[in-house]
Structure formats: C-alpha cells, structure tokens
Amino acid sequence: MLYLHGMGHFNPEEVISNRFLEDLDIGTSNEWILDRVGIINRRTVLPLDYIRQTKNADYREAYAVRRYNNAQMAALAARLALDRAGLSLSDIGMIVAGSSSPDHIAPAESSSIAAELGIEVPCLDMNSACSSFGMQINFLSKMQPDTLPPYVLVVDSETLTKAVNYADRSMAVLFGDGSAAAVVSSTVRSRAAFRDCTFASRPSAWEKVGINHLWRFYQDGNAVQGFAIRTTTEGVKRFQEIAGAQAQRFIFIGHQANLSMLTTVCERTGILPEHHWFGVDQFGNTGCASAPSVLSAHWEDLQAGDCVALSIVGAGLSWAHILLKVEDEKNG
C-alpha cells in the first residue's frame, strides 16, 4: 500500500484561448474546437506574441523564449504538495519524475528538479509518457517498504507547447503546459492511500502517438481515441466492481486528452456528472501532469469514504489504473 500525504499542481499564466487560435487564421473556430475536443483554454510557457508571430515554426526558439522550464514548474507544484502534507523539503528522501517533454536527454529531469528545490537526494526518472504518474505510483506501491525513504516526492512536469506547430490546427487546439506533484510514503500512514494499482503496455502500437526527433507531436487520432476510450472504460468498470458499496462516492479522473473521450467513458460506465472530475476544458492536455493535476485541484474536496479511480493512458501505448481510497482521519 502507498499512502498519499499531499498533492500540488501548477500551470503557467499565459492563456491560449479559442479566440486566440481563431486569430491565428489556421482554419479553426471556437465552435469547431468545442464540438471536437471540448477545450476552451490552455496554459503555455511561451509568450503569446511569440506564438502569434512565429506559430512556433522552430522548436529551438521555443526553448529560448519560454518563461518557465520543467524544473521550475515542478518545484512550484512540489512546494504546494509539501505544504498540504505539512512537511518540509528536508523530509523528502527521494525524487521520482517523468515527462513527455523533458528539457534534457540527460541527466534525469529529477536531478534538475532537486537542484531547483535545493535538496540532495537520490533522483530517478520513470517515464511512460502521459501515463507516467500512474506507472510511478504502481511501481512504488509494489516495492518493499524498507527499500524506500519515509517520504518520496513524485513530480511530473510538461512543457508540451514547445513541441506544438501552431500552423496545424489539429495539434494547436489540444495541448497545454503544467506540472503536478505528490508526496507519498509506504510506511507513514495517512487518510488517503492507493489501494489498487496496475500498469500495462502494448508496444506493438508504439508508433501511434509520440513526439519525434524534430520535437513535433504526431498521432493516429482515431486509433488513439479508440484505444483511450476502451482501456479507460475497462479500468473504471473494474474499479467499480472493487469499490462496490464501500464507496460513499465513486469519482472518476481520466487522462485529460479531450472532453469528448472522457464524456464517452462516463456514458459507458454510468459515472454521474458530479462524480467526474476534469480540467481539460480550461487547461488542455497537459500530458503526464494532467490527471494528477485534477486530483490536486480537488484536494480539499476529498471526503472520507471516497474512492477515486484514476485511469490514465499514454504513448507506448501504455495505461495505468490506480484506485485511491480516503478514510476518516482517525482511521488513516
């Protein structure tokens, strides 16, 4: 079992609205975007004037003009998670990180995050693209408790907009930037714990979605959408059977790819609108930060008896399903 002590998230200030994308004159409109993906706004580390003038034609320029790097955004999410957990940086004994859009090939992104936070701890990256958070929780939950320090910081940071060609409307409408962090422990109890975790991959389909060597995002949209809906639906149904009558509320958080995909999963699993937590409409697809960011945004809304199903898909193709159970404080 892996106990969750605190969550944090961060999104940069610059907003890419549907109106902004309309003004880029790339053949899109607010109605077209809402009908297909249900996204209204996204956040970016890039200056809006830069996108307007260049449409990010050269990803190398994006690195030069961005207002946050991955480590800076990760550190902001981490500090919020620590504050909510009532802990300090000195309590952290390890950092595990992941990203679909790392700033460096080497060293591990977790090392730059630790440096940004000013701590000296073991650092490693565990990356499976958008499903990274679920995969990280899965592997940590299966490790022997005495092999881990009392508190581990899990942090995923994405600057996906640096890889978006804003002349391509199919890509321009989808992505945003953000980070998410979790403070977890295998030995120190808390009121929230991951009770069931799974991770799997279908590597024969690895070419269906990704970011290539030119830092351009690509995907077989229909194939990936179908995979995401099927896999997420299967995971949610399994957790519904596990939670059963135990759950006061059964809450669903999916990978924030687009609202259409998430709505279809809710329809197929009978999830009530008030039990579907999402943020894709306001922040876009923020990769591996997306699902944990939604959980962080609702951190104060968690109640005793809640079962929260996080069903997350990613490139690889990969998927992870993790079930968070919230207990009474006295039982945590």
Q: What is the pTM of this model?
A: 0.94
Token pair, residue 73, equals: 């955004």
Q: Do 2-185 and 192-331 come out as alike in CATH topology?
A: yes
pLDDT in tens, 15-46: 999 999 999 999 999 999 999 999 999 999 99
Per DSSP, 130 falls in state: B
Can you tell me the distance from the alpha carbon of 153 to that of 82, in angstroms, rounded to the nearest whole number? 9
CATH topology of domain 2-185: Peroxisomal Thiolase; Chain A, domain 1 (3.40.47)
**Paired sense of beta strands 94-98 and 123-125, if any:** parallel
| Cα(109)–Cα(154) distance, integer angstroms | 12
Task: Return d(Cα 198, Cα 117) in angstroms, integer.
Answer: 30
219-250 pLDDT tens trace = 766 777 888 899 999 999 999 998 876 778 99
pLDDT tens across 45-94, in order? 999 999 999 999 988 899 999 999 999 999 999 999 999 999 999 999 99
CA–chain centroid gap for 228, Å, is: 15
Q: Which CATH superfamily is domain 192-331 in?
A: Thiolase/Chalcone synthase (3.40.47.10)
- What residue spans define the domains of the chain? 2-185, 192-331
314 pLDDT above the threshold of 90:
no
The per-residue pLDDT for range 167-196, each reduced to its tens digit, is: 999 889 999 999 999 999 999 999 999 999
Report the largest interatomic distance among the alpha carbons of the chain, rounded to a whole angstrom.
57
| Per-residue pLDDT at 214 | 67
User: For residue 8, is pLDDT > 90?
Assistant: yes
Residue 163: DSSP 8-state: G
